[in-house]
Amino acid sequence: MGACALVCRVVTDLENSHEWISFEHPTEKRIFVFDVTFLESSYHCIFGQGCQGVLTGPAEELVQGCCSYGAHLMDEKDAKKVEKVAVKLSASQWQFKKQGEKGVLKRRTDKDGEVEITTRLVKDACIFLNRPDFERGAGCAIHVYAMDEGVSFVPLKPEVCWQLPLRREEATDTAGWVTTTITQWDRRHWGKGGEDFHWWCTEATEAFTGATSVYHSMSEELTELVGEWAYKALGEHLAQRAARPASVAIAHPTVRR
């Protein structure tokens, strides 16, 4: 089924000046909602290329990116995945392999009884983050392993790590319909902690200099988040919209600023 045959809505979020597209899945009780202003933007990760990190002050020289506070894992399934890949990392891929032998995750029970699982910190950042003085350079050790093995990093890294800055939210109504929304991570999504970030990439113009749109550059991540059918359907709709003579896309707010 082509995108033109879908039940589609295009609305404008006046407050945030983002354009959204939504459509229903043909066989499931599911509605997809996409932030096309972000997905059509030229955003790209600039880790090690001007990223100032998420500490309370500029820290480009540390090359920590968004890894300073460790990864917050989704659940035990996510945790087991990370623990499994940690065993496979070699010392030439992982600067802190020796420290990792004592365990790579930290579990803490909050006041509501919920278990919070995070990666351990070593030298004030995620245990998997290789520093600039490492022989392979700065960056995620799991990502290095994936490149060496010629495999995708998506099934290996913590979910929050491979998804950023994409954000998936799901809600189910009383009729059983599930709404899956794909947008960008903003400071507000991190709670009060986000207010302390000196810098956040989706708010920085220097990160909006990619050669292609997010829809193309993060195709693997988007497909994993919504499935092949929804990813293809969104692409068909965007292509048809762009072909219309009067079509004018809304520039991302960060670029407009």
Three-state SS across 94-134?
CCCHHHHCCCCEEEEECCCCCEEEEECECCCCECCEECCCC
- Cβ neighbours of residue 255 under 8 Å, at least 6 residues apart? 41, 42, 205, 208
Give SS3 for 254: helix
Mean pLDDT of the chain: 92
pLDDT per residue as tens digits for the range 70-109: 999 999 999 999 999 999 999 999 999 999 999 999 999 9
Separation between Cα atoms, residue 23 and residue 39, nearest integer Å: 16
The reported pLDDT for the residue numbered 41 is 96
Domain boundaries, the chain: 1-64+166-257, 67-163
Residue 50 · residue 112 · CB < 8 Å: no
Q: How far apart are CA 162 and CA 153, in angstroms?
A: 7
**How many CB atoms within 10 Å of residue 50?**
13
Model pLDDT for residues 182-206, shown as the tens digit of each residue? 999 999 999 888 999 999 999 999 9
Residue 56 burial class via C-beta count within 10 angstroms: exposed 0-12, middle 13-18, buried 19 and up: exposed
| Whole-structure pTM value | 0.90
Residue 3 has pLDDT above 90, yes or no: no
